[in-house]
Amino acid sequence: MDSDSAVVERLLTPAEVATIFRVDPKTVSRWARSGKLHALRTLGGHRRYPESEIWALLEQHQDG
C-alpha cells in the first residue's frame, strides 16, 4: 500500500449495532450520548459507529 492509500473503516448504523448487542436502537443512541460508544455524525446528522470499536466493546463486554 502506498502512502496515499487510506484504509476506510466500515461504519455501522444504530440498527446494526443494536442487532449485534441484542438491544433496542434507542439504547445504542443512549450509549452514544453517555459516552459509552463513540459516534460519528453523517452530514444529515445521523450517528454511525466504527465497526472495530463495536466489536472491541462486544469482546470486552463478553470477557467481563
Distances in Å between the Cα of 57 and the Cα atoms of 2, 42, 61 are 31, 22, 6
pTM for the structure as a whole: 0.81
pLDDT score, position 4? 60
Strand partners, 41: 47
pLDDT score, position 45? 95
Cell 448487542 maps to which residue? 21
Domain that holds residue 57: 11-63
Residue 6 counted as domain residue? no
Residue 1 counted as domain residue? no
pLDDT score, position 5? 63
pLDDT score, position 22? 95
Rg, Å, the chain Cα set? 13
Residue 31 counted as domain residue? yes
Contact call for residues 18 and 27 (beta carbons, < 8 A): yes
Start-to-end CA distance of the chain, whole Å, equals: 37
pLDDT score, position 3? 57
pLDDT score, position 48? 97
Residue 21 counted as domain residue? yes
Number of domains into which the chain is organized: 1
Where the chain has pLDDT below 70, the residues are 1-5, 64
